[in-house]
Structures are given as structure tokens and as C-alpha cells.
Amino acid sequence: MRFRDGQWLVAEGVRTEYAEEVYRVSPMPSGKGVNLLCPTRKIRSRGDTLNLSTLSIDIEAVFDGVISVETTHWQGAARRGPDFDIFPAGRPDVEAKISKDETGTTVSAGGLSATVSGKPHEFDIAFHPTGSKKPLTTLLNRSVGFAYTPAPSTPMQLADMRQFKHYIFTQTTLSVGESVHGLGERFGPFNKVGQTVDLWNADGGTSSDQAYKNISFWMSSRGYGVFIDTPERVQLEIGSERCCRVQASVEGQRLRWFIIYGPSPRDVLRRYSILTGAPGSVPSWSFGLWLSTSFTTSYDEETVNSFLSGMRARDIPVEVFHFDCFWLKAFQWCDFEFDRDMFPDPKGQITRLKADGIVKKVCVWTNPYLGQASPVFAEAAAKGYLLKRKNGDIFQWDLWQTGMGIVDFTNPEACAWFVSCLERLFDTGVDCIKTDFGERIPSEDVQWFDPAVDPKRMHNYYAFIYNKLVYETLQKRYGANEAVLFARSATAGTQRFPLTWGGDCESTPEAMAESLRGGLSLGLSGFAFWSVDIGGFEGYPPPWIYKRWVAFGLLCSHSRLHGSNSYRVPWTVDDNDESDEGCSATLRKWTHLKARLMPYLFSQAQDCVKNGLPLSLRAMCIEFPDDPTSWTLDRQFMLGDSLLVAPVFDEDGTVQFYLPKGNWTNFFTGEVKSGPGWFTETHNFGSLPLYVRPNTILVLGKEGETRTVYDYTCDVDVRTYFAGEGAKAVLVDSEGRRVGVLEVRDGEVVGKDVLRGNSSITVVRS
């Protein structure tokens, strides 16, 4: 939100007040920080202390490399929930250090410090690496304040605050050349400088500035990140109100954020994952191909069987079959009951599919909305399980499902009932759940079961409690590391409940690029696992788009064929072209390649869970932060530490991509290109720029491997690429347990004793 009209004027209808100086610095009761008393005018006489506002700023050491900053205007404002679940795995200890000298007061948390200037009548707080005076960012003059809308003409009007909105804002400085990234799954420009960003979950598709997954965390190219600790609407002006500042504002009386020091993006993400939670583990089978019925298509048991039989006949393994919306009866979404007209024996059907080996797992589509035509609506309404209006009516509207209600997950009995509905599905043979929707949660005229929650804070937070409930129900049924969601909505912390997909995109190359940018931004927001609707969701993809998207989608951490009103089985896209360049052959090749990559992918996945890293899509700047070009790249990504992927967006197969410093090897041809530099190639549908990073030991399944789950140490193909002393590859089994390490010592690969069968080691490049 913009509070000014240019640099000199206040915006029409707005009154702003700023912290003009630090009048007093006091120790906090915790002993780990300081409190700053900051009046909104400079105090030059005792009379200046009267009839003015003050801001209170708490600066506190949180843990090594992390400092919190909380700004408050009126301390007596109620603290209503919900709040983010901070430190879910426990809070680390911190050795806070507070020192004072002639320059000011410094609070240190290990490698990060905040120094409050000691000059009289000055407001200046610098955040810098401990031991260095070079700031990462600062809070300077007129950078912390509050605003009223409309602008009161006299303080007496504020006796009745019902007529006014009150905002708190802070503005951290942007340095020359600094870029800002993350903030959830955002589909616009990768670098957010120059943008206004509204962190408010919305169902807006991928071709808009709205986002399904708004994450109040951003990363700077200068080696730090900022996590804004509130689930309510946060409005950011990122070099867009003042070109040299990032402004965060919330409606209310207080605003807290954490500054997280790296210095590398990896360090920032690891520390962020300590704050909000590490990504959950995913089972190895989830990396295989997921096939969906699509959204509004008509299908029944025979259709499902024909899809899976067709895929088997074309040697395209399907790991998970997904029943989208119309497994339910029309107008009865979501009542958790198969439409018996189309699926007379769902349990028997699922049992037969699995027994035949045609598919391993089954997923169904759900959401937290109940159409009033469904029998469960009446049950949930009678028992008080649905969100209500302030007058006691159930909150209903005809947006999406006719007369739909919204499950109130602040009601423990509603949660238990929802869990019982899920358990009936599990009894039918369902293994995983697509948790769709959860974005359009009303914030006005709403009364939650829990009267302590703020409806505006619940809007974004609903995605957390919704996905958490389903994920933990899956864990209870199938095991801690066997739970898998396919979620669309998210907020900070939802990375703990994998996985997510990118939402509704068109079947165009532009939408594929939008989706890629969204995945990159979400990866820089602490999410390890991500997928996309291969082929695009809306429309009818031409064969060339479908095939280019297949190559991109099978090199994401998770891969799902899904559309809206048209099927995504390959033979329906190109009239069953059986050539080597047809859709079926293309899908077969990339599905088989992903199966071969599983020893590498699943090992990398364990590291991602441990350190809060994205597996794919991983922005280039995470691996190459010292290369300025890496912070600009939004049409390519890293798949784990060692594989670079550049999807193709042109019909003729032309693609331009960037290689950082070093000798990079083409995975398919063995050709070596030396970076740094830009390169242009032309690819058929069976390839794209897939380059192996120098100093890599790459472990692959055997030639011809088509399974996702197998012994990742038996009959494997180990390749070394310019692997020098100390190069390593961690070996895991299909449960993710570490079973060994391959390492180059004195020019030889050691640790080979853990390899079994006909495993081989090949020096591809030395």
C-alpha cells in the first residue's frame, strides 16, 4: 500500500507519522535485545514530549544469524490469533550479545548484528554481519511509522477508531543492484524490485499478479532474507513507492519481522526452515508419473481402465492414478462419496487396478467446501461444523458450488468429522489426497467457532490448518514418511506438508514460462517439492506444446498429467502419432529418464528436507550466488545440486541458456561447454539442455530402468564428470536411508563396496 504521493507529498486521504529519532534504548526483559522508544518528532525540549505519538521497536537476538524486529504503536491492542507455528522442531539456543560504544548500541546473534546509531536526534538502525560495518540493509530516516486512512483532522476523532484504518509499516533499504525474490509462488517477474505485492491468497490462475501460495518471506541478492511474521494481509512496495526501499505494511498496531543472514542463499533457507519448519519427507513412489482424469471431463470406470491400459501398452509406467472432481456426483462436492452411477464398486475397482500392477497408488480430489445439495452439508450444518456469518447464519455463497459452506477447522469436532470422512476414503483404497482450493476464505461478516481468531488473519492461515489436518491424517494411516498431498493453497509453514502444484495455467508456452517462474519463487520460499499441470490446465495443447511441457514436467520434482476440459493421455493429443517424435514416444522417453535419475533424485531429496532447499525448481542463484547473472535467470533451473535444466519454449526447438563458470557436460551427448556464457541450441522433442555440473558423481539406474522404486545401489550406472578430489555422491535406499558414500580420493572412486549387482563406474569427463 502506498502512503505517499511521490517523494514529497503524502497520499490523498492518508496521514503518516514516522519514528524521527531514538530517544531511549532500554534492555528487554529477556536479556536478549533492546527496546527503542522512538517519538514521532525530534525531542529538543521537555515540552516536545507532550501531545505526540511514539513507536516502540524491539530488536532481539533469536538464534545464530537471525534477529527479530517488532514495531508497535499502541501496546494495548489485543493480540488476536492465529499465529504462524514458529520453531515447530524446537527453538535453538542463542548467545545474545549487547554492547555499547560511542557509535551506538549493538545487538548480536552469532553472525548477525543490528546497530542502533547513538547520534542524538537520529534514527538509523543498520543490520550487518558481526565484525563488519558493511550493512546488509538499514532502517533510515522516515523508514518506520504508521498511517491513518482517512486522515483525521484532529486527534480527538481517534476516540472512535471504528471510522479509521491504522497501518504499521517499515522500509528497509535496497542497495544499488540489489534484487528481491520469493514471496511464494508468484508468476510475474522473478526479480520483485519495482513491484507491488499483496500477500493475500487468491484463486487467480497463473497469468495474474494473484497467487495461491503467498509466503511472507523474501530473499535478497545481498545475502539475507526477511520473514514477516503474520498470516494477515501484508502489502509490499518493493522499490515501487520509494525506489531505494522495500516497504512492508499491515493493518493493525504492530508488525514483527525477522532478518535472516546467510551469507549464502542456502544458509538463509536453512535458517528460515528452522523458523517455520523443514519440508516434510516424500516417499520414493511419489516421484513417478501421476495421471489424472482431468477436471470437467466425463469419465467412468471404463474410461479409467482404458487410460491405464493405454499407458501400459505404450510402456509408460503410471505410479499414481488421480480421480479428479467428477468421481463425486455433480452438485455434491465434496461429500467424499464415489458417484455410484459411474463407479458402482470403487473399492473393488481400486483393488483390481493395484492387483493387476497397472498402477501402484490412487489419489482423489477433495476440497473443504460443501455444496448444499450434498447430504453431508445438512449433517455438517446441524452439528456446527461450518463457518458462520455474524448473525448466526451459515456462511454460504454460490461461488464454485451452489450454496456451498466452508468447513470450520477451528472447531475440533469439525476436524474430527473431516478426518472420519478421509478415513472412509482410505478404507476404499485411496492412498493420497489432492487438497484443492482453500484460497477464497471470507474475511468480512464471519464468525469462526474459535472466537479468539481474527477473520483477516484466518484468510491466509486457513491453507495451513487445512493441509496440516489432511497431511497428519495420512501420516497416521500410512506412516510418517508415506504421506503425500497435492495442494494448491499455502502460506508460511505449509512446506511441512508436501507437496504443492502450480495451479491453473493455460496451454501456451507463455503459461509454461509463468509456471516456471512460480516454481522458482516458491522454491526460494522454503518449499522443496513442486509440480505443474503438464500440458497446461486450460485449453487444448497442440502436440508441440504438450511434448515440450512433458520434458519440463518430468524434470520437476513431481510430475502430473492434468487438464481442464480435455484429457492428457498422449494419444488424444496428437491423434495417436506412433512415430519417435510423437506424444507417446516423448512421454515414454522422459518418464523412463526420470526413473533412471531416481538414485540421484531421492538422495538429493533427503538433503532438501534437511536443509530447506528446493529439489526442483531450484533457482540458479542458490547454487551460484556469486555469479550476478544467476540472480536474473528465470527460464532455467537446477534439479538438485548437479543437473542444469533449460526447458524449450519455441516450436522450432531453439533455446537460449546460461552456463556458470566451469566445464559443463551435455547429459545426452557428452559434449562439453565451458562457462560462464550464453549458449543457443536446437532440440527435438526427446532432448533439451540438460547439463551436468563439473565435479559431479552422478548415480543412475541401469539402462532401460522404468521403475520409480527399486534398489538404488544395485545394477546402477555411476558416472563421474570432471570429478576432482573430494567429489561425493551420497547413496540412499528407496526409504531414504543413507547406505553409503562414493568419493574421489587420490583419483579413484572409493566406497564402491556398497554397490551390488552389475553396477559400473564410468569416467565421462576427467
Which class for 318: exposed (0-12), middle (13-18), buried (19 or more C-beta within 10 A)? buried
On whether the CB atoms of residues 636 and 620 are closer than 8 A, the answer is yes
Instruction: Please pick, among 439, 454, 506, 623, the residue that the annotation labels catalytic.
Output: 439
Q: How far apart are the C-alpha atoms of 216 and 201, rounded to whole Å?
A: 11
Q: Is 436 known to be catalytic?
A: yes
313 three-class SS: helix
Residues 6+ apart with CB under 8 A from 740: 713, 730, 731, 751, 753, 754
Q: Please confirm whether the linkage preceding 82 is cis (ω < 30° from 0).
A: yes
Residue 213 CA: distances (Å) to CA of 203, 271, 463, 487, 488: 10, 20, 9, 10, 7
Q: Is 300 known to be catalytic?
A: no
Measured in Å, how far apart are the chain's first and last C-alpha atoms?
55
Q: What are phi and psi of 168, to 5 degrees?
A: -110, 140
Residues 6+ apart with CB under 8 A from 132: none
On whether the CB atoms of residues 56 and 231 are closer than 8 A, the answer is no
Q: Please confirm whether the linkage preceding 498 is cis (ω < 30° from 0).
A: no
Residue 732 CA: distances (Å) to CA of 259, 475, 588, 712: 35, 22, 26, 7
DSSP code string of 210-252:
--SBEEEEEEETTSEEEEE--SS-EEEEESSSSTTEEEEEEES
Q: Please confirm whether the linkage preceding 334 is cis (ω < 30° from 0).
A: yes
Q: Is 504 known to be catalytic?
A: yes
Q: How far apart are the C-alpha atoms of 463 and 493, rounded to whole Å?
A: 10
Residue 217's identity, in one-letter code, is: F
**Tell me, what DSSP letter sits at residue 156?**
G
Q: How far apart are the C-alpha atoms of 187 and 505, rounded to whole Å?
A: 10
Instruction: Please pick, among 436, 533, 574, 705, the residue that the annotation labels catalytic.
Output: 436
DSSP code string of 570-601:
GGGTTTS--STTSHHHHHHHHHHHHHHHHHHH
Residues 6+ apart with CB under 8 A from 210: 200, 202, 203, 204
What secondary structure, in 3-state letters, does 51-105 show? CCCEEEEEEEEEECCEEEEEEECCCCCCCCECCCCCCCCCCCCCCEEEEEECCEE
Instruction: Please pick, among 70, 124, 337, 504, the residue that the annotation labels catalytic.
Output: 504
Hey, which residues are catalytic here? 436, 439, 504
